[in-house]
Amino acid sequence: MRIGNRGGTGVAMKCDVVVLGAGPAGLVTAIGCAERGLDVRVLDRSTFPRPSVGEAVHPGAEVLFERLGVADRVRKAEFVRHTGIWIKRQNKHEFIPFGETAGCAWRGFQLWRPMFDQILLDRAKELGCEFLAPCVPCEVVRNTRRLKLVTSAGTFETKVVVDGTGRNRWLARRWRLPIRAFSPPLVARYEYAEGHSSDLDENPLFVPTRDGWEWIARVHKNLYQRIELRHTQNEAGFKRPSNGFDGLRKVGRPRGADVTWSIVEHSATLQYFLVGDAAVVLDPSSSHGIFRALSSGLLAANCITQVFRGEKRLGDAAVAGYKAWQRKWFLQDVNRMRKFAPTRAHFTFARSGLAIAFASGEAAKAFDTKSTRSVGKGNGR
């Protein structure tokens, strides 16, 4: 795609919303805004397809896939499905099913991110979003009515910027927004291996340890993922793989991700919204990171629509509601996870994650927004 105005010189390209980051949270926000007639640009450092960590999601995520108009594509993608989680304690295995309806087991998804992100990107493009990559943000300048975003692909003038850059938290770092940590530093280490393991093919395995946990799952055809987190000894490397993973052929090198529990104190204003991990980070034992990313994107799109209505009162109320929703869900997770020893964290959240998600009225509204009328491209500039 030809991009003019490279290097931030020349006339700025105008649009309603700029989304930084083409992960699930950013793309869902773009989809929601485009459905309402807003002119949206999605910027990302990387071109597609790109490697990314796999994501396990509960059966309830199908509600969001339907809402986004991608349910059929997700089903046709033939992602790995699972009916529950195996818990291993002291050499004893216990299977925790998601549930069933009329004898039919509920099935979750192992979303292979290169495929899932492409599905969301295709949907965003269908709705008129423009995708620019590779595109690196350099600077953002605020005034009372508009934002000027300088990038490696040019300068954009917009009313709202959405930060979907994940744990990179580009906007929070750029503007030095206060970030509050609720745990000691935590690092989740993960690795991949190829082969075949009949013990791991059907459902993921969660293994509590004295100082953390281990998670092993088949995430793609003949590809398995192992994640390990230790609440102590976080500077040490991987423990020796076990539970069937050690018999597989390693792919690439082990990697790590900062999963310290943290929240950006000011996750939204009338000019910006932080979505997904850019707003809130918890370690994977919370069990609904991708669900939170999709939910925050839908709710942010709703709130941005209110900002473009032109009434400051509505915009202020939307921003306050979004910030309260992010904080409430985060603190519910933190309080629940603190009550349980690391050995029980995932066992608990495998069952309770969806209940937490739907506890907020704002979250429920985010799943039913197609009735919201279009605000029209260019309105409210």
Instruction: Find out whether 68 and 28 touch, Cβ atoms under 8 Å.
Output: yes
Among the residues of 127-246, which ranges form H helices?
A: 170-174, 198-201
pLDDT band at 350 (very low <50, low <70, confident <90, very high): very low
Q: What is the pLDDT of residues 130-171, one digit of tens each?
A: 999 999 999 999 887 899 999 999 999 999 999 999 999 999
Which pLDDT belongs to residue 327? 96
pLDDT in tens, 291-322: 899 999 999 999 999 999 888 889 999 999 99
Averaged confidence pLDDT in the chain: 84
pLDDT of 68 reads 97
The one-letter amino acid code at 246 reads: D
- Asked whether the predicted pLDDT for residue 282 surpasses 50, the reply is yes
Q: Which residues neighbour 360 within 8 Å (Cβ) at sequence distance 6 or greater? A: 325, 328, 329
Residue 378 DSSP one-character state: T
Mean pLDDT of 107-136: 95
Average pLDDT value for residue range 114-129: 96
Give the whole-angstrom CA distance, residue 156 versus residue 11.
9
Integer CA distances (angstroms), 124 to 24, 117, 157, 381, in order: 11, 11, 20, 22
> What pLDDT shows up at residue 284?
86
Q: How confident is the model at residue 10 (pLDDT cuts 50, 70, 90)?
A: low
pLDDT at 381 > cutoff 50: no
The pLDDT score that the predictor gives to residue 38 is 97
| pLDDT at 340 (0 to 100) | 62
3-state secondary structure of 254: strand
Q: How far apart are CA 17 and CA 270, in angstroms?
A: 12
Distance between CA atoms of 299 and 128, rounded to whole angstroms? Answer: 20
Q: How many CA atoms lie within 13 A of 13 on its CB side?
A: 19
Cα-to-chain-centroid distance, residue 32? 15
Lowest mean pLDDT among 62-71, 276-285, 369-378: 369-378
Q: What is the pLDDT, as a whole number, of residue 166?
A: 94
The H-or-E segment that residue 28 falls in is helix 24-35
Q: Supply the DSSP string of 31-83, one letter for each residue.
A: HHHHHTT--EEEE-SSPSS-----EEE-TTHHHHHHHHT-HHHHHHTT-EEES
How high is the pLDDT of residue 240? 60
pTM of the model: 0.86
* 251 has pLDDT over 60: yes
How does pLDDT run across 22-56, given as a tens digit for each residue? 999 999 999 999 999 999 999 999 988 777 776 78
How far apart are alpha carbons 193 and 133 in whole angstroms?
A: 30
How far apart CA 315 and CA 270 sit, in angstroms, is 7
What pLDDT score was predicted for residue 80?
93
N- to C-terminal Cα separation, the chain: 26
Give SS3 for 278.
Answer: helix
> Average pLDDT in the 255-281 region?
95
Q: Which whole number is the average pLDDT over 96-115?
A: 92
Is it the case that residue 1 has pLDDT exceeding 50? no
Nearest to 43 by CA among 159, 145, 147, 156: 156
Residue 195, classified by CB atoms within 10 Å of its CB into exposed (0-12), middle (13-18) or buried (19+), is: middle
Q: Is the pLDDT of residue 120 over 90?
A: yes
The answer, yes or no, to whether residue 359 has pLDDT greater than 50, is no
Rounded mean pLDDT, 236-242: 58
- The CATH code for residues 6-55+112-183+261-366 is 3.50.50.60
Q: What is the pLDDT of residue 233?
A: 56
Is the confidence at residue 349, as pLDDT, over 70? no
pLDDT of residue 29: 98
